[in-house]
Structure 1
Amino acid sequence: MSEHNLENNLRKDLGLVSALSLVVGMVLGAGAFMKPPAVLEVAGDYNFALLAWIIGGVFSICGGLTLCELGVMFPKTGGMLVYLEKIYGAKVSHLYGWMITVLFAPSLVGALVGYFSSVFCLLFAINDAYRMAVSAGVLGFIACINSIGVKQAGYLQTIATFCKLVPILLLAIFGLWKGNGQVALFSASGQGIETYAPFAVAILATLFAYDGWAQVASVAGEIRNPSKVLPKAIILGIIFLVIVYACINIALFKIFPVQEMVTLGHDASAVASQRMFGHLGGNLVAVGIMVSILGGINGYIMTLSRTIFSMGERGTIIGAKFLSTIDDDSRSPVNAIIILVVFSFLYSTLLDADRLSEISMFSIWVFYLLTFIGVIIARKKFADTPRPYKVIGYPVIPMVAILGAGYVIYGMLVHQTVNGIASIVLTLIGLPLYYYFDNKNKHIELSLGEVKKYQFKTKYMIAISSIIIVSGLITYGYFAIK
């Protein structure tokens, strides 16, 4: 079991402030602006909506604390891909990677693109017929930046991380201060809408806003004194996020009646900023919201494309050689980025953003559930493996995480049975593919993961292709309006 002691070879440079910043920086983003109306619609009234945000935060805290035990045990690049392989074997690990490739990654990025195009069209008073053109444009821009190099994509991420704090603070502070008092929390408000969805679906909607805490486990082996720093970072970080989300929700509740906020949907935050700060000030906040969402799109394309690239390197996926190719000019997995961008665009045109976000959360929480159970299995299977960090409150915290995951999965299956079953079936399709490629490659030496020098620079090819596609979609939108 010496391979599990690799954390001793990593530089342990991350302290509490760094770990706390990582939690908040990864999680805080588009969900803060886009999800309050969706949660309210399912919850039915203000009080249940706030309760859903709090419970979603509790599930995320318990999940983060549980997952980090495996992060310290197996401090390798790949995160959950590694944990699932160690505990359940290559087949389950493959299914996770397949699910990321065909479901989670394109659904999540597609949802963010849908949210971006919604705010963009509202801000510039563009007809909805042009939304596809906006979606193609933003995906082309992000793909182009990432094809230039990870350094440039990192610059964009830094700018977006700073910019997203501005609209969040403005909405929360001024909404609480200047709101017209629609909200009547913890009392009979006389406002509400009829809902037939289970409460679990409202919690599932909040989990989109909290998603990102799982990434902290990937650097657990590089944190100083993880047994003390990790619990503090996760608990303090997510409690801070619960407070921020609660403030934004209450601010919006004070500006809109329930039905109006639900009707506005994705545009609620932008419209709220216009009402508080006037047309110009509201538009500036809306730009901040768009930059924040842009940062989310960039961050997920940058990280999830690497998981798709890793799946290509394993040779158990269609187009493995293509997906595992690195561009010599940028040293980025450009082919994996292109595939992710194309599928994200297709998903964003087929389903609305809220539906895509629910599908992405359902699909990932199925594997979160397996990972939470895996922590209990690992206590017996790897009993002698050093654990610099053990989940506090064991086994209560892991059981809360397991029950929480089971509850939201149940809610999705009851409320959106077709989508839930479709997600499971699409994931399980990866199993026969695994057996096929595993048998096919058993007796041959794979030649994957090449670094390729293209005659025509990829970044130019992506830019030109994006311009052509956007031009075509604008023409289509023009004639659709006519």
Structure 2
Amino acid sequence: MTEIKDNHHLESKLRKDLGLVSALSLVVGMVLGAGAFMKPPAVLEVTGSYNYALLAWIIGGLFSICGGLTLCELGVMFPQTGGLFVYLEKIYGPKIAHLYGWMITIIFAPSLVGALVGYFSSVFCLLFDIQTNYSMVISVGVLGFIAFINSSGVKYAGYVQTVATICKLIPILLLTIFGLWKGNGHVALFGSNAQGLASTAPFAVAILATLFAYDGWAQVASVAGEINKPSKILPKAIIIGITFLVVVYACINLALFKIFSVKEMVGLGHDASAIASQRLFGHFGGNLVAVGIMISILGGINGYIMTLSRTIFSMGERGNIIGAKFLSTIDEDSRSPVNAILLLTVFAFLYSTLLDADRLSEISMFSIWIFYLLTFVGVIIARKKYPNVARPYKVIAYPVIPLIAILGAIYVIYGMLVYQTFNGIVSIILTLIGLPLYFYYTNKHPHNSSSLGMIKKYKIKTPVRVIVGCLFIMLLLTLYVRYTL
């Protein structure tokens, strides 16, 4: 019988202070964001009709609920900092955990941030009537700003996140309420789909698009060990929280459907929400709502750079990645992983210049859901591998809920491989490249004890150094892409 070796005894003594309201706030706060404004046209384009678009949002929410309920059993079993990395390491061993961290570093983090930057640039160009040719300049500016904030310290990044969280609720409420109230009635649900568009994409691709909007529920599992009475609070928080989000997303879609026809909404793409606000509130009022949308997206960029740069830093600290010593350096003044922030920022910019935001979001979701699938299966494995470990929370309706999560993950992965075969295969290959790197660095440093991290005092103030470095590298990339591709 296998027992859990707890090398993080202090983490097991974390205070269990999170109640239902806190857990609900975490679910809604992490999930609700840019996807609410940017994904409705993409989902509608794939499905071709209002009815199937709404169905995709509902099924995506169902998969997320089942995934969240499943994942949280591991969160209670392994109440340690690291989330999925820890679960995969405990169940499958260090190699799979390393592949997850490598995938986050090279695919998920830069793709996700790059998608958000693309969405931000789209709304910015529309708001200020700027040609989309200058979107790369806007991307440089927003990434440089967020890199500057995060390299100054987590406290300042936290301020930005708080403001963005408050601001994002305003455009969501305004678009939903006034869109449903004053929309001109294009929507014709449960009737003829005569206004629909022909689509050759599998329905799974539409669900995958909605999962970008729902992403963030997995973060609840990382604090499962700090929730009071998790067996009661966790299922309530996930079910109520994501069900609330399904209703919110459905209402936003219905509001947009009442403003635009199918063809018009699909044609507007990322600009649909901003233009809808202009039609509802006039040019000035619409622009204010568009600013709210931009702040919401900015908060998403800031939040993901703040959290995912720490994952990249952790990978560097373990020593099994290229440039490990560089990536695991913390600045003495700000105590931020400045080099990890720099790497993520530059890669996100490069990805955003090479691929469309919707494609990047699909690639990021495809990559992460492969590992979600492993963790869903891991819950079943853990029941056999760790039978005597205390489980204050067990998945309700086991094994039905985990099986729904597993089948849902397989379905969306299949959809991506069928519809975006090249991108899917490239994502898998890039992930598997991490395996020979793991063996190389493990053999090179067989006694490495995760001690590569260091605190360094830089001659130039960190924020200045980071922003200048980001701007310089992104300027070179801009010139290269513009004149060679």
> TM-score when scaled to structure 1?
0.97
| Corresponding residue for residue 87 of structure 2 | 83
User: Once the 2 structures are TM-superposed, how far is the Cα of residue 473 of structure 1 from its aligned partner?
Assistant: 9.1
Pick one of 348, 353, 366 that aligns with 2:352. 348
Structure 2: runs of 5 or more not aligned: none
What letter corresponds to residue 311 of structure 1 in structure 2?
A: M
What letter corresponds to residue 53 of structure 1 in structure 2?
A: W
| Corresponding residue for residue 321 of structure 1 | 325
User: Once the 2 structures are TM-superposed, how far is the Cα of residue 364 of structure 1 from its aligned partner?
Assistant: 0.2
**SS of 2:223 mapped into structure 1:** helix
Task: Give me the whole-angstrom Cα distance separating, in 1, the residues matched to 2:251 and 2:480.
Answer: 41
| Corresponding residue for residue 458 of structure 1 | 462
Change (3 A) 1:284 1:52: same
User: Once the 2 structures are TM-superposed, how far is the Cα of residue 123 of structure 1 from its aligned partner?
Assistant: 0.2
**Structure 1 residues 121-162: Cα deviation after superposition (integer angstroms, max 9, x where no partner):** 000001111100000110000000000000000000000000
**SS of 1:326 mapped into structure 2:** strand
| Corresponding residue for residue 364 of structure 1 | 368
Task: Give me the whole-angstrom Cα distance separating, in 2, the residues matched to 1:112 and 1:444.
Answer: 36
What letter corresponds to residue 128 of structure 1 in structure 2?
A: T
What letter corresponds to residue 301 of structure 2 in structure 1?
A: I
Change (3 A) 1:424 1:89: same
Task: Give me the whole-angstrom Cα distance separating, in 2, the residues matched to 1:31 and 1:43.
Answer: 17
What is the CA RMSD across the aligned residues, in angstroms?
Answer: 1.9
Q: Is the 8 A contact 2:61 2:242 kept in 1?
A: yes
Q: Is the 8 A contact 2:259 2:276 kept in 1?
A: yes
Q: How does 1:262-281 map to 2 (within 5 A)?
A: 262-281=266-285
Pick one of 415, 419, 432 that aligns with 1:428. 432
Change (3 A) 1:370 1:471: closer
Task: Give me the whole-angstrom Cα distance separating, in 2, the residues matched to 1:122 and 1:148.
Answer: 31
| Corresponding residue for residue 15 of structure 1 | 19
Pick one of 102, 105, 110 that aligns with 2:109. 105
Pair 1:42 & 2:46 matched: yes
**Structure 1 residues 49-90: Cα deviation after superposition (integer angstroms, max 9, x where no partner):** 000000000000000000000000001110000000000000
Q: Is the 8 A contact 2:305 2:341 kept in 1?
A: yes
| Corresponding residue for residue 183 of structure 2 | 179
Q: Is the 8 A contact 2:346 2:473 kept in 1?
A: no
Task: Give me the whole-angstrom Cα distance separating, in 2, the residues matched to 1:233 and 1:445.
Answer: 37
**SS of 1:451 mapped into structure 2:** strand
Q: How does 1:179-258 map to 2 (within 5 A)?
A: 179-258=183-262
User: Once the 2 structures are TM-superposed, how far is the Cα of residue 190 of structure 1 from its aligned partner?
Assistant: 1.9
Pick one of 291, 313, 318 that aligns with 1:309. 313
| Corresponding residue for residue 438 of structure 1 | 442
**Structure 1 residues 403-456: Cα deviation after superposition (integer angstroms, max 9, x where no partner):** 000000000000011111110000000000000000000156775100000011
| Corresponding residue for residue 154 of structure 1 | 158
Pick one of 31, 34, 45 that aligns with 2:35. 31
Structure 1: runs of 5 or more not aligned: none
Moved more, 188-197 or 431-440: 188-197
Q: Is the 8 A contact 1:130 1:473 kept in 2?
A: no
Pick one of 106, 130, 147 that aligns with 1:126. 130
User: Once the 2 structures are TM-superposed, how far is the Cα of residue 479 of structure 1 from its aligned partner?
Assistant: 11
Q: Is the 8 A contact 2:68 2:218 kept in 1?
A: yes
What letter corresponds to residue 452 of structure 1 in structure 2?
A: K
Change (3 A) 1:297 1:239: same
Q: Is the 8 A contact 2:350 2:477 kept in 1?
A: no
Change (3 A) 1:289 1:106: same
Task: Give me the whole-angstrom Cα distance separating, in 1, the residues matched to 2:306 and 2:180.
Answer: 35
User: Once the 2 structures are TM-superposed, how far is the Cα of residue 41 of structure 1 from its aligned partner?
Assistant: 0.2
| Corresponding residue for residue 409 of structure 1 | 413
Pair 1:67 & 2:71 matched: yes
**Structure 1 residues 368-392: Cα deviation after superposition (integer angstroms, max 9, x where no partner):** 0000000000000000110010010
Change (3 A) 1:465 1:91: closer
Pick one of 295, 298, 320 that aligns with 2:299. 295
Change (3 A) 1:243 1:463: same
Q: Is the 8 A contact 1:136 1:469 kept in 2?
A: no
What letter corresponds to residue 230 of structure 2 in structure 1?
A: P
Q: Is the 8 A contact 1:183 1:189 kept in 2?
A: no
Task: Give me the whole-angstrom Cα distance separating, in 2, the residues matched to 1:98 and 1:475.
Answer: 28
Task: Give me the whole-angstrom Cα distance separating, in 1, the residues matched to 2:199 and 2:129.
Answer: 31
Task: Give me the whole-angstrom Cα distance separating, in 1, the residues matched to 2:227 and 2:449.
Answer: 38
Moved more, 453-462 or 214-223: 453-462
What letter corresponds to residue 147 of structure 1 in structure 2?
A: S
| Corresponding residue for residue 61 of structure 2 | 57
**Structure 1 residues 248-272: Cα deviation after superposition (integer angstroms, max 9, x where no partner):** 0000000001011001000000000
Task: Give me the whole-angstrom Cα distance separating, in 2, the residues matched to 1:258 and 1:163.
Answer: 29
When the two structures are aligned, how many residues end up with a matched partner?
480
Change (3 A) 1:7 1:376: farther
Task: Give me the whole-angstrom Cα distance separating, in 1, the residues matched to 2:452 and 2:192.
Answer: 63
Task: Give me the whole-angstrom Cα distance separating, in 1, the residues matched to 2:102 and 2:141.
Answer: 27
